Structure 1
Amino acid sequence: MADLNGDGPRPVDHIVLPTADLGTARQRLDALGFTVAPEARHPFGTANACVFLGDGTFLEPIAVAQRELCERSAIDGNVFVARDQAYRFRRGEEGCSALVMGTQNAEEDRRQFVNAGISAGLNLEFARPFETLDGTRDVAGFELAFAADLRAPDVFFFTCERKNPSDVDKSALETHDNGVVSIRQVVLSEQNPSDFQYLLQEIADQREVNAHSFGIELDAGNATVLALNGTGLKAYFGVEGGTHARGLRMRGIVFATDRFDALEDRLKQNGIAFSFVGGRLVVPEHSGQGAFFAFEAV
C-alpha cells in the first residue's frame, strides 16, 4: 500500500459492501475466484467476511449479525452502524456504501473534515478478532474518521487507521484463483460529478483533478477514484444507471489480474454473466456482490 499521510494523497484502504447474508456473499465471491476470510464479528453488532488483496486493500462484505446491538450502537452515536442502517433503509440489503481511505492519524483527519465542513460525526475506535484460513487468530484494532455530504445520502466516506497491524501471515488470504492482485479504480456515479469535486478532493487529500465530459478522476495513493455521469458509466463499463436521482453513489470496482484469460473461463464454467468493454471484463452487480466488478490484465 502507498505511504500514509506522507507528501502524496491518501490511498484506498477498503470498500464496504452491505449484504443481507454473508453466506450469499461468500458463495458469490468464491464463484468469482476470490478467497474469502472467515467471518469476523464487530463489537457493535455487524459482521464481515473480507477479501484481502496483495496490495494491502480489501473488500468488506458486511451484514447485520445482532440487530438489537446495532440499533443500540447507532443510538449511542456509532456513525458506522448508523450509516449502514440508513443505507439499508434507502437502498436495500445489497449494495456498495462506503469508500475508505488509509491513514496514520484518524484524529487529525477528523479535524480536517470538520474544518472542511464534511465531518459526519465522532471518530470510532474498536477492535475485532481476525482469523486466517488455517485457524490462526489475532485481534485487529482500528480508528475511523467519517466524512459525508448531505447532498449524497447514499454514500459515505471514512479514513481507517490500523492501530495494531498484525504479524499473522495473510498470504493465503491474499492469493486468489482469479489472479486479482490489486484495486486499480473505484467508480462512483452522479449526473454532474463536478458538483462533488471538492468533497472527493478532501477525501483523497488530492488537489489535482482530471475533469472531462464524462466526469472527474482523482489519483489516490494507490488507485484512481472516478466519478462518472451516465454517459461515462456506459462508455467506460457498459453499465446503465448513471442518471439516477442526484447525489453520488458507489457503483463499481476495477481490479488488476494476472490471470485474465483463465478468469474468463472460470466465469463461463460458473455461469456468471459478463461482457467485454474497452478491454475489460465486466461482471454486473449481483446478490452478494453489491457493485459491478471489472477486471483488467496487469
Structure 2
Amino acid sequence: MTETTPAHSLDHLVLPTANLDTARARLVSLGFVVAPTGIHPFGTANCCVFLGDGTYLEPLAVGDAQAAARATATGNVFVARDRAYRDRCGNEGFSAMVLSTGNADADHARYVEAGLSAGDMLSFSRAFADTAGKSDMASFKLAFASGTGATDAFLFACERINAPKVDRTALQTHANGATGIIEVVAVSDGPSEQRRLFAVAADTEKGAAFRLPNASLTLLEPAAFATRFGLPAGAPSELRFAGLVFSVRSTDTVAKLLAANCVAHDIDGNDIVVRPAPGQGAVFIFREIP
C-alpha cells in the first residue's frame, strides 16, 4: 500500500442535518460540547464541535430557506452542493471534507486545471461566539472540488482570512475525552477516479492511501466498508463520506457515558462504534489513543 504525505491538513467535516436542535441534542448525548449556533450570510447555519487538534465538525442546517435559494441562484457553490446533497441523500448525512490552506486561489487554479473544480470560489464572514458569549468575526475563502459523477460528496479548501480571537478551551473539553479526528472513511463504487480527486484536493501524488499531516483518509469499496463496520454501505455511489474516527483518552469513559445516555453502541476490539442517527449523519468511531 502506498502512502503519501500531502501539504494540506484536515480542517473540518460538514454534516447536513434537518435541524440544529436535533444535532445538538444528539452530539451532547455522545459527550461533546457544542458551540453556540453560527449564522451564515447565505441561509445556512451550524453548531460546531471543536476538537483540541484544531479540527471540527460542522453540523449544517438550512436556517433561512429563501436566503439559501437566492444564494443557490447566484452561484453559491456551498449552498448549491448542500441542496443537491439533501435532494439526493436526505437531510441527514456527511457531505464534505474540508482541507486547510494558506492560498485558496492557488487551490482553485489547481482544481480548474485538473478538470475537478466544482464552481466559483466563495468568500464570506460570520460572527463567532465562545461559551462565555465573547464574539469576534470569522472570515473565510473557499475553493471547491468534486469528482466526475460524485454528486453525493465534495471537498473544499478553506483559507481562514481572519481567525476569531476567542478562547475555545471550554469548547474543546469534551465529556467523552475526544481530542481529535484521526481518520475519515469514504465509500466508492469506482474508487480509481475518486483517488485522483483526493490527490488533487490534498495536493499530493495519487496513491492507494492518503495520510494527511493530521489524519488519514480511507477510501473503501462497499463490501470492504461492510466488513469493517458490520454496517451496509448504503445506496450505490461514486463517492460518499460515511464515517470518522475520533481519538479519545479512554474507551471505558466513552462506553460508560454512552450507556448512561442510552446511546446504542458496539464494541469492536479497541473501537467503540456508534451507528448514524438523526443529528449524527455518519458512523462515529471512538478509539483510545495512549
Counterpart of 2:182? 184
1:293 aligns with 2:284: yes
Query: What does residue range 42-57 of structure 1 map to in structure 2 within 5 Å?
Result: 42-57=40-55
How far apart, in 1, do the equivalents of 2:269 and 2:25 lie?
28
Does the CA-based 8 Å contact 1:255-1:295 persist in structure 2? Answer: yes
Partner-residue secondary structure (3-state), 1:163: strand
How far apart, in 1, do the equivalents of 2:135 and 2:102 lie?
24
Question: Which residue, 253, 270, 273 being the options, matches 1:279?
Answer: 270
Dislocated runs of 4+, deviation >3 Å:
none
> Which string of whole-angstrom CA distances, capped at 9 and with x for unpartnered residues, describes residues 208-251 of structure 1?
62x3xxxxx21112100111112321232222226x32411010
Question: Which residue, 261, 265, 273 being the options, matches 1:270?
Answer: 261
> Which string of whole-angstrom CA distances, capped at 9 and with x for unpartnered residues, describes residues 245-276 of structure 1?
24110101100001321110111111111112
How far apart, in 1, do the equivalents of 2:130 and 2:95 lie?
26
1:196 aligns with 2:191: no
| TM-score for the superposition, normalised by structure 1 | 0.93
Partner-residue secondary structure (3-state), 2:54: coil
> Which string of whole-angstrom CA distances, capped at 9 and with x for unpartnered residues, describes residues 81-130 of structure 1?
00001111111111110010000000110000001110011110000110
**Matched AA of 1:17:** L
1:29 aligns with 2:27: yes
How far apart, in 2, do the equivalents of 1:224 and 1:163 lie?
26
**Matched AA of 2:128:** F
Which residues of structure 2 form unaligned runs of 5+?
none
Per-residue deviation, 1:154: 0.6
Question: Which residue, 205, 212, 217 being the options, matches 1:207?
Answer: 205
How far apart, in 2, do the equivalents of 1:257 and 1:23 lie?
25
How far apart, in 2, do the equivalents of 1:38 and 1:70 lie?
21
How far apart, in 2, do the equivalents of 1:61 and 1:221 lie?
24
How far apart, in 2, do the equivalents of 1:145 and 1:191 lie?
26
Counterpart of 2:213? 221
How far apart, in 2, do the equivalents of 1:241 and 1:69 lie?
34
Per-residue deviation, 1:59: 0.2
Does the CA-based 8 Å contact 1:16-1:99 persist in structure 2? Answer: yes
Partner-residue secondary structure (3-state), 2:152: coil
How far apart, in 1, do the equivalents of 2:81 and 2:190 lie?
24
Closer, same or farther: CA 21–159 of 1 in aligned 2, 3 Å: same
Partner-residue secondary structure (3-state), 1:207: coil
| TM-score for the superposition, normalised by structure 2 | 0.95
Which is bigger in relative contact order (C-alpha 8 A, separation at least 6)?
2
Root mean square deviation of aligned Cα? 1.3
How far apart, in 1, do the equivalents of 2:205 and 2:38 lie?
36
Partner-residue secondary structure (3-state), 2:170: coil
Does the CA-based 8 Å contact 1:129-1:139 persist in structure 2? Answer: yes
Does the CA-based 8 Å contact 1:282-1:293 persist in structure 2? Answer: yes
Does the CA-based 8 Å contact 1:17-1:290 persist in structure 2? Answer: yes
Counterpart of 1:85? 83
Partner-residue secondary structure (3-state), 1:173: helix
Counterpart of 2:229? 237
**Matched AA of 1:138:** D
Counterpart of 2:95? 97
Counterpart of 2:142? 144
**Matched AA of 2:283:** F
How far apart, in 1, do the equivalents of 2:168 and 2:12 lie?
16
Partner-residue secondary structure (3-state), 1:14: strand
1:259 aligns with 2:257: no
